[in-house]
């Protein structure tokens, strides 16, 4: 049975699509956070407050890594960029784990093993 006709192929595709969708949504939210901080947006404004509160749990583990760079009310939050990079790397690792469970034929497996040598 080739890997294109495997019953797990569709579920693997859906799984990887879900991971990329969640990552994209998170990256957009973190990018909004970064830009709002950088431009000195009013944290009391509804949109800013919403973005800061929804991204807080994802940014918090990184907030103490680098000092914030503040220039005339604008904050260059290096930690948000770090969070975006780390979450991107985690998504790649999850997708690769999904792909490792993909069904392969014996000739495909042999060819892949030869490339690794």
Q: Is the pLDDT of residue 7 over 80?
A: no
Q: Where are the domains of the chain?
A: 3-116
Least confident among 6-15, 34-43, 52-61:
6-15
Q: Distance between CA atoms of 7 and 102, rounded to whole angstroms? A: 10
What are the residues whose beta carbons fall under 8 Å from the beta carbon of 27, sequence distance 6 or more? 84, 87, 88
Global confidence as pTM: 0.82
Q: Does the pLDDT value for residue 45 go beyond 90? A: yes
Query: Is the pLDDT assigned to residue 11 strictly greater than 90?
Result: no
- Render pLDDT for 51-107 as a digit per residue (tens, 0 to 9): 999 999 999 999 999 988 888 889 999 999 999 999 999 999 999 998 888 777 788
């Amino acid at each position: 049975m080739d890997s294109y006709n495997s019953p797990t192929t569709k579920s693997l595709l859906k799984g990887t699509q879900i991971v990329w969708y969640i990552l994209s949504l998170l990256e957009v939210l973190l990018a909004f956070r970064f830009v709002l901080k950088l431009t000195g947006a009013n944290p009391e404004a509804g949109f800013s407050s919403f973005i800061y509160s929804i991204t807080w749990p994802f940014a918090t583990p990184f907030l103490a890594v680098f000092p914030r760079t503040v220039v005339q009310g604008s904050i260059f939050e290096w930690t948000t960029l770090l969070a975006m990079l780390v979450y991107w790397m985690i998504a790649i690792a999850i997708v690769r784990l999904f792909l490792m469970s993909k069904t392969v034929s014996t000739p495909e497996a042999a060819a892949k093993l030869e490339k690794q040598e």
